Amino acid sequence: MLAIVHSRASVGVSAPAVTVEVHLSGGLPALSIVGLPETGVRESRERVRSALLNAGFEFPARRITINLAPADLPKEGGRFDLPIALGILAASGQIPADSLSAHEFVGELSLDGALRPLNGVLPSVLAARAAGRALLVPQANAAEAALASEGEVLAAGHLLAVVEHLAARARLVPVARAPRTPASESARELPDLADVRGQAVPRRALEVAAAGNHNLLFFGPPGTGKSMLASRLPGILPDLEDDAAMEVASVHSVAGLALATDDWHSPPFRAPHHTASAVAMVGGGSSPRPGEISLAHRGVLFLDELPEFERRVLEVLREPMETGEIAISRAARQVRFPARFQVVGAMNPCPCGFSGHPTIECQCTPQQVLRYRSKISGPLLDRFDLHVEVPVQGGDILMGQASGAESSALVRSRVVQARARQNRRKQLNSELSGRALQEACRLDTEGERLLTGAMEKLGLSARALHRILRVARTLADLDGAEHLAHSHLVEALGYRQLDRQHGQNALVSS
């Protein structure tokens, strides 16, 4: 007897199809699994045997061969327990085999037949929907599956419930799609920009970064509000569109993170500690899992105390900051994770933190300051669109009333309008390149002369020049202007306060 059950593997953020073939033949009782199973899959034979017996089914005393096709795709985890169990039941005639063809199944079995939750269910839901089959998942994954459900996702808590459904004795109710939370409600609990006292220039830079999805670096003495400003960025970012939100949810599903199903359109905000390793940052492991840059996909990666990160950790960010994805290669396969993130960094000007402080004297030698600042390489610094100083504020500003400070909701409304102008051009400003950059950032003679002089004086690279143009385009979008004005270029240049002069490791202060 032969039975065929459809399932899904988990490879990165994709869910390739796996066909579970179960064959019962004569000979001594045995169960073998072929098709490149890893340890977790090979152990499923003991879980499946106990689950079937404890659920009241007969375990065939025959030779059972299970093939997981395609054979060149590594299979891992317990997600194939349920399809293997159903294949054995169908091959032995305990359930109708013809009821399996319209469904796909994923789920790990406990010894009593209960279904345990899995990681990476959401990509399987999307792939099964594209294949035109209903996917049956553990009940604990129902809320996650509801994010992408269009009425073709079923959820069950026990093997018996699955069998009852397939035998048409007690049909499972399809999982309803989760409703979308309005944007005005989803940002309600985030820190408000109105809490920030003073700091007009950093606040403006934060708005520009949000409007154009630009990378931003704050620097200044400790306690001036760099981290406070960065934590307010999510509150002024627009909600994600459905496709982008689904990408983010898929990455978090694969990583095994809990999904906020009532607020899943909000951009993610990740803030790893400076002791994080390169693998923790970009992802990896024997079975590759997404790292912090992928968990920040379509959102913000905040790196506080930037020079305290290991140099190697910072350098691995350079390529994904440009390409928007990360490829993790292993001997058997290569896995790609999306990594289109916005970087916000914060750093002190020197090891003691008080270089340039108006009242506290810096205790660092010039060599110590140079060594500290050189931890951020020129190519990495080039990838920050805005370098903004966060100065010390006077006591009268800090102790005074916060009246007149704009709220996150007000700033967010301008950001949404600027993003709408960019969407009409089909690209965010941070992604403009080539012909699209030339068309969006046309300069007059005065503008060309200004940027040419800035390149010679500041030693700007071509990458830095393009980023200045992108920031200027964002400033024009915030003003509702069709063309770049001289004021937009001047302001954009003012946000390049840490560019290197003539390739030397020195900071340029403006």
Domain region containing 97: 2-166
Examine the domain organization and report whether 382 and 279 are in the same domain: yes
Cα–Cα distance, 484 to 486 (Å, whole number): 7
Q: Is residue 402 part of a domain?
A: no
Examine the domain organization and report whether 444 and 343 are in the same domain: yes
Examine the domain organization and report whether 154 and 272 are in the same domain: no
| Paired tokens of 458 | 């500041």
Examine the domain organization and report whether 474 and 413 are in the same domain: yes
Q: Exposed, middle or buried by CB within 10 Å (0-12, 13-18, 19+), for 177?
A: middle
Examine the domain organization and report whether 295 and 365 are in the same domain: yes
Q: Is the pLDDT of residue 270 over 80?
A: yes
What pTM did the predictor assign? 0.89
Q: Is residue 57 part of a domain?
A: yes
- CA nearest neighbour of 439 among 449, 451, 427: 427
The CATH number given to whatever domain includes residue 120 is 3.30.230.10
CA atoms within 13 A on the CB side of 474: 34
Tokens 């899995």: give the residue. 118
Q: Is residue 401 part of a domain?
A: no
Cα–Cα distance, 79 to 58 (Å, whole number): 22
Examine the domain organization and report whether 324 and 412 are in the same domain: yes
Cα–Cα distance, 435 to 261 (Å, whole number): 40
Q: Is residue 81 part of a domain?
A: yes
Q: Is residue 173 part of a domain?
A: no
CB atoms within 10 A of CB 201: 15
Q: Is the pLDDT of residue 1 over 60?
A: yes
| Paired tokens of 412 | 């967010």
Please provide the average confidence, as pLDDT, over all residues in the chain: 90
* DSSP notation for 435-481: HHHHHHT---HHHHHHHHHHHHHHT--HHHHHHHHHHHHHHHHHHT-
Q: Is the pLDDT of residue 184 over 60?
A: no
pLDDT in tens, 378-397: 889 989 999 999 998 877 77
| Paired tokens of 143 | 């809320």
Examine the domain organization and report whether 117 and 235 are in the same domain: no
Cα–Cα distance, 179 to 318 (Å, whole number): 37
Domain boundary among the residues 134, 166, 198 is at: 166
The CATH number given to whatever domain includes residue 419 is 3.40.50.300
Examine the domain organization and report whether 296 and 422 are in the same domain: yes
Examine the domain organization and report whether 347 and 303 are in the same domain: yes
Helices and strands in the chain, H and E counts? 22, 18
Examine the domain organization and report whether 471 and 330 are in the same domain: yes
Torsion angle, alpha carbons of 343, 344, 348, 351, to 10: -30
pLDDT in tens, 213-252: 999 999 999 999 999 999 999 999 999 998 999 999 999 9
Examine the domain organization and report whether 425 and 472 are in the same domain: yes
Q: Is residue 106 part of a domain?
A: yes
Q: Is residue 172 part of a domain?
A: no
Q: Is the pLDDT of residue 188 over 70?
A: no
Q: Is residue 90 part of a domain?
A: yes
Examine the domain organization and report whether 485 and 437 are in the same domain: yes
pLDDT in tens, 295-354: 999 999 999 999 999 999 999 999 999 999 999 987 667 899 999 999 999 999 999 999
Q: Is the pLDDT of residue 507 over 70?
A: no
Percent of the chain's residues with pLDDT above 70: 95
For the chain, the domain total comes to 2
CB 141 within 8 A of CB 160: no
